[in-house]
Amino acid sequence: MPQDPSARMHSISDETERVVDRVLDASRRRILLKDVPLDKPMTPADLARLASGSISPGGLGDARALALFEHVLAPACISVDHPEYLSFIPSAPSKAALAFDLVVSASAVYGGSWLEGAGAVFAENEVLHWLAAEFGLPEGAGGVFVQGGTIGNLSALVAARARARRVRRSVGAAMPESWVLVCSDEAHSSVASAAEVMDVELVLAPADADGRLRGEAVREALLEHGDSVFAVVATAGSTNFGTVDHLESIAALKDEHDFWLHVDGAYGLAGILTDQTRGLFRGVERADSVIVDPHKWLFAPFDACALIYRDPLDGRIAHTQSAGYLDTLNQADEWNPSDFAIQLTRRPRGLPLWFSLATHGTEAYREAIGACVRLAREIADEIRTRPELRLVREPDLSVVVFEREGWAMADYERWSAGLLEQQQAFVTPSSHHGRPVTRFAIVNPRSSVEKMTAVLDTMR
């Protein structure tokens, strides 16, 4: 065995074989676990007491480091793939996708350029092209998997503004004093964050009583702000309610106005894959850019957002970085994923989804998404039968928002903490127009109506 500690890290020896075996065994245990524990956070003081001191000159050795993770650190993290994790937007990766994520890491592929990662990039593009076709985008549509919806939205909007600037410049027109971005007040917080980063003005067009942004409201914003508007963001599945904006009437405005339509479908656009909800997305085929997060409702592990441009050249012009050492990449007319978003080095993070799709086929995806929609409808029916509960809105997709008569935020908080303490479920309070509510966000086909019903029983 080599004695030099640095050589030990990269050599193939009995010792490294043991490390790899232990790590793969631990992964196998976790991926194949029948009853995933829900788990819960620990205080910083408790973690400091139980887990401090792991970084040392000589190292703990793999057995102790792994035991620390399995027995102390991991149990202090809530399992997002637990079927009764129903807060925020959970994640329910397929076993194939989870396992293949290990292969992606092990294969040491640089996913930023065709030169370095052609095979991986080809496979990622197969997935992007399949998604684009499902959305009804034209043949040439394409893009890249980025870290998450926040970066996807920002990258798309930066490309939108770059195009608006080019158009202005090409006709010799002056730039507006301030570029305007239009969305509804139910749009995700990352849209406001993008506006902040880009230093553009955010105009909130009012949604209708159902929380749906419609063409009429967008038209008013377009008339008021004229061609300062460089983009309109429509939400295809709001995070709090799963409400899909009326894409068709918003897209129809393109006949009269020149703006970039970005569809933020981070959570909800996956719903286009099942007949039960496909109709809600009519109009998405006219988008200039869309995002959907496979780590939300497409059964892939963290982290992955599919960002797709109608015309990928718009993304490429906006995002290609140039530097002496990169010129060799940029001169060739090759598909370099890094050129389509705010990023350079990237993991081929679309591959776990690719592998799982290639393994199971697209029908399995349609069925699993359909199962979540059915679960949402069944539990909404159950909520309707209970006099102390009120459904706040009819679910469009797989988020069910409801309230308990007479409860204040403090009641929801106490109840939610109790559920987690009992390890029964992770369901957190939310709010709507200042009223406390709670919600079930269902992206796991293994969530059960019985267990969600048992959660409702705790609200009596």
Ligand X SMILES: *Cc1c(COP(=O)(O)O)cnc(C)c1O
Q: Which residues make up the interface to ligand X (CB under 6 A)? A: 89, 148-150, 153, 188, 190, 235, 239, 264, 266-267, 293, 305
Shorter beta-carbon distance to ligand X: residue 156 or 266: 266
Q: Which is nearer to ligand X, 368 or 443 (CB)?
A: 443
**Distance, CA of 391 to CA of 75 (rounded, Å):** 34
Q: How far is the CB of 278 from ligand X (least distance, A)?
A: 18
Question: 């959660």: which residue's tokens?
Answer: 455
User: Are 188 and 178 in contact, with CB atoms under 8 Å apart?
Assistant: no
**Minimum Å distance from CB 143 to ligand X?**
15
Name the residue whose CB lies closest to ligand X: 149
Burial of 229 from C-beta contacts in 10 A (0-12 / 13-18 / 19+): buried
CB 231 within 8 A of CB 261: yes
Nearer to ligand X, 125 or 153 (CB): 153
Closer to ligand X by Cβ: residue 346 or 404: 346
Instruction: Tell me the C-alpha to C-alpha distance, in Å, between residue 144 and each of 81, 155, 273, 358, 361.
Output: 25, 10, 20, 18, 21
Q: Which of 89/298 has CB closer to ligand X?
A: 89
Least spacing, CB of residue 270 vs ligand X, in Å: 11
Could you tell me the smallest distance in angstroms from the CB atom of residue 145 to ligand X? 11
Give the CA angle between residues 96, 97, 102 to the nearest 5°: 95
* CB nearer to ligand X: pick between 190 and 343: 190
Query: Where do the H-state alpha helices sit in 136-202?
Result: 149-170, 189-198
The residue type at 265 = G
CB closer to ligand X out of 419 and 443: 443
Least Å distance between CB 263 and ligand X? 10
Min dist CB 266 to ligand X, Å, is: 3
The CA-atom distances, in angstroms, between 251 and each of 112, 186, 213, 284 are 32, 18, 12, 8
Kindly write down the DSSP assignment for every residue of 45-108, as one continuous string.
HHHHHHHTT---SS---HHHHHHHIIIIIGGGS--TTSTTB-SSS-----HHHHHHHHHHHHTT
Shortest spacing between CB 153 and ligand X, in angstroms: 6
Residue closer to ligand X by CB (options 300, 357) is: 300
**Minimum CB separation from ligand X for residue 218, in Å?**
17
Query: What Å distances lie between residue 397 and 12, 53, 242, 268, 278, CA to CA?
Result: 50, 46, 6, 7, 10
